[in-house]
Each structure stands twice: as C-alpha cells, then as structure tokens.
Amino acid sequence: MWLTLLGLVLGEKLMGIPGMILAPVVLHYIKVEASRNKVSDLASDESQSRKAA
C-alpha cells in the first residue's frame, strides 16, 4: 500500500496526471519482472552452467 502511495506521489511530481495513472501499472510491471528472477534460480543456473563447461 505504501509503495503504491509513494508511486502515485512520485508519478504526480514527475509527470502530473499521466504519471499518477501510469504509476500503478509501472509498479505492477516491476513486481512481476522482479518475481520472475529469483536469486536461488540464478544460483542454480550458474552452478549447472559451470558443471557443463
């Protein structure tokens, strides 16, 4: 909730009304992309690629 409020305020300061409209969309996109890349997944991928090399 606080992240959305911060995004709305920051979007309004940077871009005005369009920034307030885009803030929740951009925050959702960042959350989805960040959740796709887990640290444990990256570590296991690196160890598998090192074994293959």
User: For residue 29, what are the CA distances in angstroms to 45, 51, 52?
Assistant: 24, 34, 33
* Domain total in the chain: 1
Q: Which residue has the tokens 């959740």?
A: 35
- In percent, how much of the chain has pLDDT > 70? 70
Band of residue 36 on the pLDDT scale cut at 50, 70, 90: confident
In the chain, what's the furthest Cα-to-Cα distance? Answer: 52
Give which of 32, 52, 14, 31 is closest to 22, Cα–Cα: 14
Band of residue 27 on the pLDDT scale cut at 50, 70, 90: very high
Per the structure, the complete domain to which residue 41 belongs is given by 2-52
pLDDT at 41 over 80: no
Q: C-alpha 14: how far from its chain's center?
A: 19
Over range 30-43, report the average pLDDT. Answer: 76
